[in-house]
A and B are shown apart, each in its own frame.
Chain A
């Protein structure tokens, strides 16, 4: 093995062991898709190795790697949004399932009794929640995760994903409707009727 190959192996292994979980978490919170998040870590490390000359050490390796990953995630989500928006253009508004023709609820939402602090510590609930988020269409899942799990503000998501505020609002509304319904069916089913 040449010195160069040795160095490459050391860099990449070091990055993976030191920053792998951090990068994986960063991507998971933005994509809510374990496989895609792992791919993002992989692509980031490959891109970082190819661009290793550019790393000047004036920022920490982690900051530099996250900077690369941001671009990878942006590309990935933009692609998802483009693909999905094209196919959605041909479909009717999915939120129409929840309402009757006169604009009233097809099935009235019920009151939920739980409190968020207890729920967020409940492993079983978190599993159901992540399942429900995972069932959202790709574009909604990513945009919703960026907003609610990663805590990015609306403007940042619009700018990074190159979507209009209206487009974001529609996706967030659809995601919230589907998520609320999924949780009502799979968790709050026993909650008291309003």
Chain B
């Protein structure tokens, strides 16, 4: 028997990138109804999606910043390029 799991995983990812066709949606929904592993995969992707949305909302709180060492490196490199 051929399983639909592999195609389903691609469709679930595609669902975040484009609108699925009605046929794709129905095939996926029927499959998820029967397949626990793909359901879990779908829920995990959903959790990741919500997580990233939440992280974007609070991006300022955990924003990466340049270290003093990075700044120094940049300053030296830029000065080397910009001073004749």
Give the B-binding residues of A (Cβ under 8 A).
Answer: 5, 8-9, 12-13, 16, 20-21, 24-25, 28-29, 34, 37-38, 41-42, 45-46, 49-50, 95, 98-100, 102-105, 108-112, 114-117, 119-120, 126, 148-151, 154, 165, 168-169, 172-173, 176-177, 179-180, 183-184, 194
Contact = CB atoms under 8 A, between A and B. Distances in A.
A16 B74 CA distance: 9
Given A95-B9, A169-B17, A172-B17, A109 B74 contact: no
Contact of B16 (A102, A110, A172): A172
Given A16-B74, A103-B5, A108 B17 contact: no
Describe A's contact surface by its main secondary structure.
helix
Q: Nearest 5 pairs between A and B by C-beta?
A: A108-B37, A116-B51, A104-B3, A103-B3, A173-B13
Contact of B64 (A24, A114, A168): A24
Interface in B49-84: 49-56, 58-59, 62-66, 70-71, 73-75, 77-79, 81-84
Interface of B: 1-7, 9-10, 13-14, 16-18, 36-38, 40-41, 43-45, 47-56, 58-59, 62-66, 70-71, 73-75, 77-79, 81-84
